[in-house]
């Protein structure tokens, strides 16, 4: 008889970057609801302390994901606080900037690429390093990573140009595939979600409500913004045992926008 699989995370240790707001916070909340011990990481100390207290997370850590030394130190604090290496990672830390390609300077390019792509890599690298040192999650074969990509990795947008953001998220998709192949032998699955227009603090589409409404009616078949919790549900499916044969995949969560 086949053993039952579950979407619960009881007894499992989880780390969520970008956990102070948006999709990261929604993912942390859902992991806590489903029994995980959760550490949240974000750049600023005050928002992460507030998020930790409101969510009831095990620990909140402030660190800049662009800084390898800071990420390594943060993972050490997370391992200590959780009593072992996290077995589940949601890589949600990111920034979004709008600028025409000809107007993006090197500083602006580096900020976005370093946060969204380099940061995802550095956190994932430290995560798997801690797992290998701890061994227990590797031996159980239940470790899992979900990276936050975007539909901007798949389609361009002339109305809201962001070449640096698009490139960073396309890099996240490629990184996800490569890590999935390299870390399969460690029992670590690596997947990504690619959200479309989601109602989070990073969203700029609705700054002009009339234009935003026109975009939703014309470009999104479901004709509404997505919710952070809806993306978190997909992320947690990929993290859970229910997705035990899924790795290297990017799942689009966009209300049908990229299907048109």
* Alpha helical stretches, state H, 135-193: 136-140, 163-183
Q: If 0-12 CB within 10 Å is exposed, 13-18 middle and 19+ buried, where does residue 249 land? A: middle
User: Which one, of 45, 46, 37, lies nearest residue 63 by Cα?
Assistant: 45
Q: Choose the catalytic residue: 165, 168, 247, 253.
A: 165
Output DSSP code: residue 4: P
Is 45:120 a contact under the CB 8 Å cutoff?
no
Both tokens of 6, joined, read: 């579950």
Number of H helices, E strands in the chain: 9, 9
Catalytic annotation present for 245:
no
Residue 112 and residue 116: Cα distance in Å, rounded? 6
Beta strands in 106-173 (DSSP E): 143-148
Instruction: Tell how far CA 74 is from the center of its chain.
Output: 17
Opening angle at CA 99, ends 98 and 100, nearest 5: 140
How many CA atoms lie less than 13 Å away from 59 in the CB half-sphere? 19
Helix (H) or strand (E) holding 198: strand 198-199
Residue 41 and residue 29: Cα distance in Å, rounded? 13
Is 225:23 a contact under the CB 8 Å cutoff?
no
Both tokens of 123, joined, read: 């956190």
Active site residues: 165
């Amino acid at each position: 008889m086949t053993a039952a699989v579950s979407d619960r995370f009881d007894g499992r240790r989880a780390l969520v970057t970008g956990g102070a707001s948006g999709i990261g916070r929604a993912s942390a909340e859902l992991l806590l609801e489903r029994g995980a011990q959760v550490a949240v990481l974000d750049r600023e100390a005050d928002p992460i302390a507030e998020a930790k207290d409101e969510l009831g997370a095990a620990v909140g850590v402030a660190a800049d994901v662009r800084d390898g030394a800071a990420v390594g130190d943060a993972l050490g604090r997370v391992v200590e606080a959780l009593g072992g290496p996290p077995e589940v990672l949601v890589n949600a830390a990111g920034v979004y900037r709008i600028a025409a390609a000809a107007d993006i300077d090197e500083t602006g390019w580096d900020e976005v690429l370093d946060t969204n792509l380099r940061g995802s890599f550095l956190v994932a690298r430290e995560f798997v390093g801690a797992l290998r040192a701890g061994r227990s999650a590797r031996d159980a074969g239940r470790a899992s990573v979900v990276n936050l990509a975007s539909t901007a990795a798949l389609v361009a947008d002339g109305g809201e140009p962001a070449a640096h953001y698009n490139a960073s998220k396309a890099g996240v998709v490629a990184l996800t595939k490569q890590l999935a192949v390299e870390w399969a032998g460690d029992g670590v699955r690596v997947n990504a979600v690619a959200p479309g227009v989601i109602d989070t603090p990073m969203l700029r589409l609705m700054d002009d409500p009339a234009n935003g409404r026109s975009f939703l009616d014309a470009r999104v078949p479901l004709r509404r913004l997505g919710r952070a919790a809806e993306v978190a549900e997909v992320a947690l499916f990929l993290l859970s045992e229910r997705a035990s044969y899924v790795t290297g995949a990017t799942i689009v969560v966009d209300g049908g926008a990229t299907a048109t």
